[in-house]
């Protein structure tokens, strides 16, 4: 008997969590935080509607916060099992959990000190100690090898692009293959190899972030050259909120290559993301997982200023030179970029370049939708900065790339479940898959349980 309960990323993009019961073995596939809309974020604070103490393994597709950020909350719910992922995924997850724990603690302390929280006292979502405790449960797995989990269940991890360490997961139970796509990367990525393609799936759980869109064919280099020249002419600041994993490194590579080609001058570039800097060390440690050349990677890092302390954050803000600042978070839901916004958002010579997906309810999404004020740390700031969005840097496959990822599956899946997408996107993508392949496609609801086999 196999059944699944959808605990997150069901008719929404964030909070990926799926409870799979195979015979007498209970698994979680991913364990992410909800982000964006308030009603979703509030779900993070409650216990999961399953018996966590019975979960033996958590299988991580990759390290992003919306796939891993709920892990420390499981400890108080009785989890004592093992967390499996590729070595780079576990390294990325450890970095993200430690960083987010520090942010949770700092924001709770700030809220209590300044009195802007409705909660008395404000508490961190989880502590650094809880993050360390759950990291102690990590165990790495190799690519493309079956691992026995017991109860006639085994799992295999396959390379998926997207970010370093990312995989899709195939679980074999009862003679059936249950395939979880994770987040699917793009072909011809500057940092990563092309995603592998699955060959068989009896039940497919498929991400649909961009299931209704084709990424535009933008000349990213020319757009960045124009933005840099504008920043220099206006003696301003180009702020690039960025996800610390993959996107930050990708933007660094593009800027570095533009400088090498003499298309931009030696404008100061500050990388103000301790987590992003830590991720750079993961790229150094796992060279077989990406396509960067070691010498170029080292030269690029020397060319840019890696900011570590908050004191240096303020020095960077006060630096009068035209400059580029890359900092977290990518959707402006937290991180050091918020400090820059408090000082730069109301200045006309500031440009804000959004380079990734902006979930519903996030500050990044509100900027894209033309909102004229943002609330940061309990205060409102007027938006005077220019807002620019580059969609083609996304690490997610678009509709055509998702359909192509499916084209080597040799069987007809018994059912395809669309996950990790907004509902309107899923409805359109469902029709596209049905018309293209003739497969049965379903859009599950949050907390829905389905008997599969």
> What pLDDT score was predicted for residue 277?
85
> What pLDDT score was predicted for residue 243?
86
In whole angstroms, what is the distance from residue 432 CA to residue 403 CA? 9
- Please report, for residues 69, 76, 283, the alpha-carbon distance to residue 273 in angstroms, rounded to integers and kept in the order given: 18, 30, 15
> What pLDDT score was predicted for residue 106?
85
> What pLDDT score was predicted for residue 23?
83
In whole angstroms, what is the distance from residue 135 CA to residue 442 CA? 34
> What pLDDT score was predicted for residue 390?
92
Sheet holding 147-150, edge to edge: 147-150, 153-159, 167-173, 176-180, 203-207, 415-419, 441-442
> What pLDDT score was predicted for residue 140?
98
Map out the domains of the chain with their CATH numbers.
2-213+395-451 (3.60.15.10), 220-389 (3.40.50.10890)
At 113, which helix (H) or strand (E)?
Answer: helix 87-114
> What pLDDT score was predicted for residue 435?
98
> What pLDDT score was predicted for residue 114?
83
> Nearest Cα to 151, choosing from 20, 18, 7, 16?
20
> What pLDDT score was predicted for residue 94?
97
As a whole number of Å, the CA-based R_g of the chain is 22
> What pLDDT score was predicted for residue 356?
84
> What pLDDT score was predicted for residue 22?
94
H helix runs in 170-271, sequence order: 220-233, 247-260
10-residue mean pLDDT profile of the chain (453 residues): values are: 97 97 95 93 95 98 96 97 98 94 87 79 93 98 97 97 97 96 95 97 98 94 97 98 90 96 97 89 94 90 92 96 95 92 98 91 95 94 97 92 98 98 97 98 98 93
Contact of 245 with 92, CB cutoff 8 Å: yes
> What SS3 state is found at 433?
helix
> What pLDDT score was predicted for residue 259?
97
> What pLDDT score was predicted for residue 115?
77
Contacting residues for 220 by C-beta, under 8 A, at least 6 apart: 254, 390, 392, 393
């Amino acid at each position: 008997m196999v059944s699944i309960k959808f605990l997150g990323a069901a008719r929404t993009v964030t909070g990926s969590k799926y409870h799979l019961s195979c015979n007498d073995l209970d698994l979680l596939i991913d364990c992410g935080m909800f982000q964006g809309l308030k009603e979703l974020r509030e779900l993070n604070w409650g216990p999961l509607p399953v018996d966590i103490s019975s979960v033996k393994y958590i299988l991580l597709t990759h390290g992003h916060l919306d796939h891993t950020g709920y892990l420390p909350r499981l400890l108080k719910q009785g989890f004592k099992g093992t967390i499996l992922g590729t070595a780079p995924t576990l390294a990325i997850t450890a970095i993200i959990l430690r960083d987010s724990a520090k942010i949770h603690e700092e924001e709770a302390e700030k809220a209590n000190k300044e009195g802007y929280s409705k909660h008395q006292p404000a508490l961190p979502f989880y502590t650094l100690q809880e993050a360390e405790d759950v990291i102690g449960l990590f165990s790495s797995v190799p690519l493309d090898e079956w691992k026995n989990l017991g109860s006639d269940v085994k799992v295999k991890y396959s390379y998926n692009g997207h970010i370093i360490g990312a995989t899709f997961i195939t679980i074999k139970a009862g003679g059936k293959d249950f395939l979880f796509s994770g987040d699917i990367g793009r072909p011809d990525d500057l940092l990563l190899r092309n995603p592998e393609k699955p060959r068989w799936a009896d039940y497919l759980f498929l991400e649909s972030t961009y299931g209704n869109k084709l990424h535009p064919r933008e000349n990213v280099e020319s757009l960045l050259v124009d933005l840099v020249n504008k920043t220099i002419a206006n003696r301003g600041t180009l702020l690039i909120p960025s996800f610390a994993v993959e996107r930050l490194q990708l933007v660094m590579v593009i800027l570095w290559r533009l400088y090498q080609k003499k298309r931009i001058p030696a404008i100061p570039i500050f990388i103000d993301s301790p987590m992003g800097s830590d991720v750079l060390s993961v790229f150094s440690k796992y060279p077989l997982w990406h396509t960067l050349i070691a010498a170029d990677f080292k030269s690029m890092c020397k060319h840019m200023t890696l900011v570590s302390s908050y004191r240096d954050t303020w020095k960077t803000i006060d630096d009068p030179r035209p400059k580029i600042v890359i900092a977290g978070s990518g959707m402006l839901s937290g991180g050091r970029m918020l400090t820059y916004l408090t000082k730069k958002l109301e200045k006309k010579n500031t440009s804000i370049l959004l380079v990734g997906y902006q979930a519903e309810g996030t500050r990044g999404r509100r900027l894209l939708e033309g909102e004229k004020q943002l609330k940061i740390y309990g205060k409102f700031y007027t938006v005077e900065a220019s807002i620019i969005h580059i969609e083609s840097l996304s690490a997610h496959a678009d509709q055509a790339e998702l359909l192509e990822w499916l084209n080597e599956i040799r069987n007809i899946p018994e059912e395809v479940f669309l996950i990790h997408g907004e509902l309107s996107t899923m409805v359109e993508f469902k029709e596209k898959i049905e018309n293209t392949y003739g497969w049965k496609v379903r859009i599950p609801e949050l907390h829905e349980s389905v008997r599969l086999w």
